[in-house]
Structure formats: structure tokens, C-alpha cells
Structure 1
């Protein structure tokens, strides 16, 4: 039973990686290589597809139980989370018009920084100083990667930062590293040694941040 559960979990994680990276690369191809100029409409298609597939999985296939909204407060929280997530996807798609996937994933790796900042100012949640110290290489890595990015575009960079600020989870950075390698192989966008060093520094910072948070708990 445990073995079956293990392989089921591996299958789910693999499917999540494949679908996320696949959508990311498809969006990049449509917005940059194919010349599609409507990232917000692309986001609308994304949201509609997610809604329909979720409805089918819940109502028809019954993969997960149907959850009922029990109060206005809960509805408000769900609506707020939905708007923030939508803004994140829109920002990410707009950024893909101007920046290579490799660079957007490097910026996306700074999600722990925004998580810590928002938790401090909005929820008054304070971490240990060691945890905050691990964020230094996260930010420094992106600064270095920005300086060494041949295709750097300021507006795309701002949109990517906004999308990252509206997103969260450290596990996604592993997916980001895989997406970087695949995107470079497919789109053959130019990269520099400085950019690679910056991205690696950011990933190291994320790993240290995750380790520090676990120890603080």
C-alpha cells in the first residue's frame, strides 16, 4: 500500500512538473517566437481551461471532494487569492513577451524574499536573523543575473518581479531550474557566464533559506 502511494505521489509530482514547464514553454513560444501579442487574453484562456478541468475533476471524475463556501469571509478570501494569482499569471505572461524563460525563472526564484517581506509587514511574522541572512544571496544573485543578461528589458523585468511578488513555495524553484535548461535548449537564447553565476547564487540562497526555516521550526 505504501509503495503504491509512493509511486502515485511521484506520478503527481511528475505530472505537475511536466504541465507547468509545458505551459511555460508554450506561452513563451506563442508570445515571443510565434508573435502572439495578447498575454492577457492568453491568461484568460489559461484560467478558463483550469476552471473547466477542475470542474471535471471534482464533479465528474470525483478525484477530490467538492468544497462548499460557508461564509462571506471565506468567499472574500478566495476571491482575493484568485485576483492575486490572476495578477501573477498576467505579469508572468507579459514578462515572457520581452524576456527569455531562463531569466524569468531566475527572477522567480526570489519568491522566498517576497514571502518573508510580506509576512513581516502584513502579518507581523518575524523569522530568525539567520533566515533573513539567507535572503542576501537570493537577491544578490538576481542582481548579478540582471547585469549579465544579454536580453534584459526593464518593463519585462518589472512585470516579472510583480508576478513573483504575487506568487509563493520553494519547491517550484527546482521546477524553475529544469525549465531554464529546457528553454535554453529549445529557444537557444543567449546566456552569459555572469547570468549563470547569478542564477546559481540565487538557487543556493533559496536552499539555505529553506534549510534555515526548517531549523527555526
Structure 2
């Protein structure tokens, strides 16, 4: 139950200010005491100190947006390569692709073949297991050591984690609902529109300037997704609207992460540690008004073994993502995601008999080309 077919998309913020100049040459933002105020000591003028402090605080909001403008990406604010346990890329990439594909195919099998059409419950169940799993890992392993670098305050949690968690929950519910009526292959094609949504939302927030090259990439991906939708044999408007809305929610979540959580590098497990409880509670609140008690009555029919293994595969994907970040760069992650999507589409045809037309193949190829071009342009 991760962010739908794509690499995990994660937040960042920094826990303490730094006076060091950035090595990449970008302008720095220091949110607390200005340099003149630091040097003034007790002999400085109180009036000047007050004016300098007010001026510094007034620049805080502009500083957040200015820093966010530097790093608008499809997968923003991941920890630096090598910051997590090292593992060979040739080992971890196939594992990540297998787990990522297994999560989607397993959910589709649960919804369709086993007749368990309760995506809101499944989402809440996965997130509840994830919340418990991250806390067990915290006590038994060093995979959650990233939590020690984060100073999570109540204000930060309410103003940043909570709203981003709401968007995350919405994207998961809508995406999983789409699997009830749409094929896996068609959903993966629609997800190729995510970079376009991120660019457009970033442009609205003035985090990204739409250059002529980016406009061409936007048009290329949009045309490819449009052809993929046009060529869909079993088109369902409800599922289509759910998936498009899921893309909008997920893209908004990434942009909000870029604005609200600048500097605090979270890996997939640390991110899950904070978001999973929020999302599980939000989803659980929807249950009485949507699916009721039916998921609980059908739980035993499906069997604890299947339900537990389903959640375990989803959680295993997040663990694999920690090692993937340390083993591969951004472009490699994008190419691995492209290969995974192609594998998923092929598996959907083999296991679920999903029809694919030549128009869809051509359209999706255009969209994939646009995604790779976007990643290359953003380097």
C-alpha cells in the first residue's frame, strides 16, 4: 500500500539551524538570529536588535518557498545516497521491483479474485500494521535511527505531518478504490501523469518555472496518457475519476512536503512511522459510513494467513526502499520504476487477462519517454 506504483515519496525538514555555507552554492536560509545581532552582544542597541530580529522573522516565509524552489522533484527530499545501510544495487533493485509489483498484484487479486472489495479497510489495515511494524523495528533494529535526528514538536506535527497525512490517506483510498473497476495496466498508465501534476501544482505555488523544455515534456506525457485512456477497452468513468483524483492528491502531497518539511530528511520507514498512525485513524473514521462491518465479517473467510501476508508484503516494500535509496541514484530509481511499471502491465495481461491495445502501448511509451526526459532535465 505504498504510493501507488511509484517509488516511495518522502518528506524532509531540518532539526536545527546551521551557520555553515552550503556546499552547492545555493543561498542559505537561517531562521533564527541574524549575524549582526549575534555580534552585537550586550552593548548593542535594543532598538536595532529588535528591528533586525523582526526583519529576520519576516523573511522566514519567503525563505521556505525559496529553498523549496531549488528541489522540486518527482521524489523530493530523499536522504542522500549512502546515508542508509549499503546493499548492492544489483541485489536490492530486483527485490524492490518484485515487492512493489507484488503489493499491487496482491491487492488486485484480493479485490477481484477473492471478492474482498473493501479498499478503505485494506488501506487502514495496512497502515495500522505499518505503524506497529515501525515501532517494533525501532526497538529491535537500527533501521529507525533516523528518528534520532528529528526534533518532532507538537506544532510541527499539527501544521505539517497532519495535513500531509490527510493528503496521503486520500491518495491511498482513491487509488485502491480505482482497482475495483480498472485494470492494473490502465492504472499504471494513468500514474505516468504524476510528474505533470507535480509540475503544474509547483508552478501554481511558484516553486517551478515552466521553461519551454518542461512545457514540451508536459505535453508529451499528457498526450501519452490521453492516448492510453483513449485506447482503453473497458473504460469505467468512476474508476478513472478515482485514479485521476489519487494522482492529484499524491502530487499535492509531494509539493506540500517540499514547502512544509524542508530540510528534515526522512527515509521511507521514518516517514511511515509518522504518517501511518494518522492515515490509519483517518481511514478508520470513514469505515462506518462506507464499508461498515462487512470487511470484519469477511476477514475470516479470506483467512488470517492471506491478510497477514498481504500486509507483510506492503511493509516489506518500505524496508526495501530504505536500502534502495542507499544503493541507487535518482535516475536509476526512475528507470527502475519504469521497468517495474512495464512488468506490472505485462503481469496484468498474463494473470488477469487485461486487454491492451496498440494505441495504449504507443501512448504509454510517449509518457515513459517524457518521465525519463523530466528526470534528466531536473538533474
Q: Which residue of 1 aligns with 2:351?
A: 186
1:141 Cα deviation after fit: 0.9
After TM superposition, give the deviation of residue 106 of structure 1 in Å: 0.3
Higher helix share: 1
Distance 1:41 1:152, change over 3 A: same
**Cross-structure match for 1:150:** 233
CA RMSD of aligned residues (A): 2.2
Q: Which residue of 1 aligns with 2:204?
A: 121
Which whole-Å CA distance do the structure 2 matches of 1:49 and 1:130 have between them?
Answer: 43
Q: Distance in 1 between matches of 2:133 and 2:237?
A: 35
**TM-score of the superposed pair, with normalisation by structure 2:** 0.52
Q: Which residue number corresponds to residue 71 of structure 1?
A: 153
CA separation of 1:112/1:47 partners in 2, compared to 1, >3 Å: closer, same or farther? same
- Structure 1 match to 2:362: 197
**Correspondence for 1:62 among 135, 142, 146:** 142
Count of residues in Structure 1 that have an aligned counterpart in Structure 2? 211
Distance 1:110 1:14 in 2: 24
How much does 1:69 deviate? 4.6
Q: Please tell me whether the aligned partners of residues 103 and 149 of structure 1 are also in contact (alpha carbons under 8 angstroms).
A: yes
| Cα offsets for 1:41-88 (capped at 9, x unmatched) | 111112112212222222322212134553234212112222211111
The correspondence for 1:111, drawn from 194, 200, 206, is 194
Structure 1 residues not aligned, in runs of 5+: none
Q: Who is 1:97 aligned against?
A: 180
The partner residue of 1:24 within 104, 107, 113 is: 104
Q: Normalization by structure 1: what TM-score?
A: 0.87
1:167 aligns with 2:250: yes
Indicate conservation of the 8 Å contact 2:134/2:144, yes or no: no
The CA deviation at 1:138 is 0.6
Cα gap change, 1:69 to 1:78, in 2 (>3 Å):
farther
Aligned CA distance change for structure 1 residues 10 and 88 (closer, same or farther; 3 Å): farther
Highest CA radius of gyration, 1 or 2? 2
Distance 1:46 1:123 in 2: 35
- Unmatched tracts of structure 2, length 5 or more: 1-81, 255-332
